[in-house]
Amino acid sequence: MKLDGKVAIITGAASGIGATIAKHYVEAGAHVVIADLKREAAEAKASELSAIGPGKAIGVEMDVTNEDAVNAGVAKTVETFGRVDILVSNAGIQIVHRIEDFPFADWKKMLAIHLDGAFLTTKACVPHMKAQGGGAVIYMGSVHSHEASPLKSAYVTAKHGLLGLARVLAKEGGEHGIRANVICPGFVRTPLVDKQIPEQAATLGISEEEVVKKVMLGETVDGEFTTVEDVAEVALFLAGFETNALTGQSFTVSHGWHMG
Ligand SMILES: NC(=O)c1ccc[n+]([C@@H]2O[C@H](COP(=O)([O-])OP(=O)(O)OC[C@H]3O[C@@H](n4cnc5c(N)ncnc54)[C@H](O)[C@@H]3O)[C@@H](O)[C@H]2O)c1
């Protein structure tokens, strides 16, 4: 199997995109740590996936903005499965406001989850990957790593920032066999997106249907949402691609919304 014996930590994997990546990895033979703010949901997802197998999964409570919690989660991974081969830094939230209305506390919360979370999990995993002679780090970017949309200053800033972190890790990690790449999905129907539809409709003064058709899918080639499976397939490919030929890259999965 493609990821036989590999060990992966996936943050924010109790729900949405992360949960589907976890399923694909377990089915490919990897052991997976579901690291999420929501302990019960993480443990429930881990039990569900362990029952599917062949890989095993455990749930770990982790707030990715808390250095001690991140370090404890990575230590628990190594204690349980003996190594860390793959990090998928995926935990994320969305908060939308116009810049002039954006509460500073919300701006800092967004940057903390998306950027501090990516940095802290990377920092904790890299020493293990170096000691093992390699690893794959995958950051969950977004089309908003390349494009901007109104109301999303914090999200767009953070998602652009992940490209920089990935490129630096690609350079620092190259001689150690550590690859770093970014997946950039278009809109995917998860709780994160469902929450935004009524919020954007209210802020922009348009109907929810218009938010979906025009704001979310208007620039795609076919008016279709990207699916959690689409993103998980790319995450599986990147985790299993074992040379530095693919590092420091971003992979956009968006029905043609962003091309480049
Ligand atoms: N859904 C989309 O359209 C879309 C598009 C592009 C990128 N993304 C990115 O994909 C990632 C996953 O999003 P999703 O749509 O699956 O959302 P989701 O809401 O379904 O899942 C996010 C998970 O992250 C967890 N989480 C939130 N804050 C956390 C924290 N501080 N520490 C640990 N876990 C935390 C939540 O508990 C939840 O389980 C995010 O980084 C998001 O920005 C999503």
What's the pLDDT tens digit per position in 44-88? Answer: 999 999 999 999 999 999 999 999 999 999 999 999 999 999 999
Q: In the numeric block, which tokens belong to residue 94?
A: 């969305």
* Predicted local confidence at residue 84, as pLDDT: 98
Q: Tell me, using a 6 A CB cutoff, whether residue 147 lines ligand 1.
A: no
| Distance between CA atoms of residues 130 and 112, nearest Å | 26
Q: Tell me, using a 6 A CB cutoff, whether residue 140 lines ligand 1.
A: yes
Distances (CA, A) of 41 to 85, 153, 193: 24, 30, 19
* Predicted local confidence at residue 260, as pLDDT: 81
Q: Tell me, using a 6 A CB cutoff, whether residue 63 lines ligand 1.
A: yes
* Predicted local confidence at residue 198, as pLDDT: 94
Ligand 1 mean position, distance from CA 233 (Å): 17
Pairing of strands 7-11, 31-36: parallel
Average pLDDT over residues 124-148: 98
Ligand 1 mean position, distance from CA 139 (Å): 12
Average pLDDT over residues 12-22: 98
What's the pLDDT tens digit per position in 158-188? Answer: 999 999 999 999 999 999 999 999 999 999 9
Question: The domain 7-186+227-253: what is its CATH number?
Answer: 3.40.50.720
Atom of ligand 1 at shortest range from CA of 114? 41
Does the structure show a pLDDT above 90 at 99? yes
Burial of 53 (0-12, 13-18, 19+ CB in 10 A): exposed
The rounded percent of the chain whose pLDDT value lies above 70 is: 100
Pick the residue whose CA is nearest to atom 8 on ligand 1: 142
Ligand 1 mean position, distance from CA 253 (Å): 16
Pick the residue whose CA is nearest to atom 20 on ligand 1: 16
Backbone angles phi, psi at 182, to 5 degrees: -125, 130
Which residue numbers are catalytic?
A: 155
Chain centre to alpha carbon of residue 190 = 13
Average pLDDT over residues 120-145: 98
Does the structure show a pLDDT above 70 at 1? no
Ligand 1 mean position, distance from CA 90 (Å): 6
Domain borders along the chain are 7-186+227-253, 189-225
pLDDT band for position 257 (50/70/90)?
Answer: very high
Average pLDDT over residues 123-127: 98
Q: Given CA atoms 165, 168, 171, 175 in this order, what sign does their dihedral have?
A: negative
Pairing of strands 178-185, 86-89: unpaired
Ligand 1 mean position, distance from CA 13 (Å): 8
Most informative mutation of 114, 190, 197, 224 for ligand 1 (most atoms within 8 A of CB) = 190
| Distance between CA atoms of residues 170 and 192, nearest Å | 29
